[in-house]
Structure 1
Amino acid sequence: MQSLSNNDIFIYEHRVSYAETDKMQFLHHSNYARIYENARWEYFRSLNISYSKIEELGIMMPVINMDFHFIKPAFYDDNLQIEVSIENLTNVKISFKYATIKNGETINTATVTLAFMHSNSGKPTRTPEFIKNALQNQ
């Protein structure tokens, strides 16, 4: 389940599965990247932006930076709310800001930056106008 609140924060819900935990019974740190990716694309879907449409335009969006801050652990069966927002949008890249909330408390924060690039050449390209428009009109 997901929803928009305050017109700039998207909320994505995730329940921690047993397979996502490690021997310490924590949500393994590597899973945050996958969870944040799911949250990011659900946020985009809520704005009628699909990755398949981006790919049809010959554009890819590789991750170029990830910065995670682990505050407290999550455990099996915890219900997490992931807050997603745009931190920065330039002509060639976009940065997302995340906060993972468990029982009203922030347990993880992150910033993930993606670049816009031509799928054929691998060179940077401008942010598609329909993405700029969707983000400005939210």
Structure 2
Amino acid sequence: MECYSHKVQYYETDQMQIVHHSNYIRWFEEARTYLLDEIGFSYQRMEDEGIMIPVLAVNAEYKSMTRFGETVLIEAAVKQFTGIKLIMEYTVRDKETQEVRCVGETKHAFIDEKTYRPMSLKRKHVELYALFNGLLQE
């Protein structure tokens, strides 16, 4: 699967034109959204079908600096999937040099939009379960 590409904007940097650490978390979300679009089950479709997928935890390890004007590639992959919980992992690389800039992960739960209770995709949304399960095995 193709990586998500992001060109660093000036507003994402500090006075030294180095990307502020909080932006990597936003990029994780952009890459996750891109991945869902690519597999044909967007966030919008999930919400339309009554599925919410809140973030429970985020972890990021910064390996090297990213600067204004550079383009990074963000790879999002399914690390763990139970049908109720999901862990995504991310690798942010410089597009030109392939140097790793950051690695991280996000933890999520699938919940019912009406009850805010955990939902088993295996029982209630078989198609989405199969898509995520397929990503886990890649």
Does the pair score TM above 0.5? yes
Q: TM-score, normalised by structure 2?
A: 0.87
Structure 2 residues not aligned, in runs of 5+: none
Calculate percent identity across the aligned residue pairs. 27
Higher strand share: 1
> Cα distance, 1:132 vs. partner?
2.2
Task: Tell me which residue corresponds to 1:113.
Answer: 107
Write out the 4+ residue segments of structure 1 that deviate beyond 3 Å after TM superposition.
none
2:130 is matched with: 133
**Map of 1:7 onto structure 2:** none
1:1-40 equivalences under 5 Å are 4=1, 10-40=2-32
Write the deviation string for residues 87-116 of structure 1: whole angstroms up to 9, x where unpaired: 011121111110011121111000111110
For residue 69 of structure 2, give the secondary structure of its aligned residue in structure 1. Answer: coil
Q: How far apart, in 2, do the equivalents of 1:37 and 1:28 lie?
A: 16
| TM-score normalised by structure 1 residue count | 0.87
The offset of 1:126, in angstroms, is 1.1
Q: Any idea what the Cα deviations from partners look like across 1:31-70, whole Å, max 9, x if unmatched?
A: 1111111111111111101112211221111000101001
Name which of 87, 93, 98 aligns with 2:85. Answer: 93
C-alpha distance in 1, partners of 2:15/2:126?
Answer: 46
Q: What amino acid maps onto 2:76 in structure 1?
A: V
The size of the alignment, in residue pairs, is: 130
Structure 1: runs of 5+ lacking an equivalent: 5-9
SS state at 2:24 partner: helix
Residues in 1 aligned to 2:83 and 2:28: alpha-carbon distance in whole angstroms: 23
Counterpart selection for 1:50 from 42, 49, 70: 42
* Alignment correspondent of 1:64: 56
The two structures, once aligned, show a CA RMSD in angstroms of 1.5
CA distance in 2, matches of 1:112, 1:126: 19
Equivalent position amino acid for 1:82 in 2: I
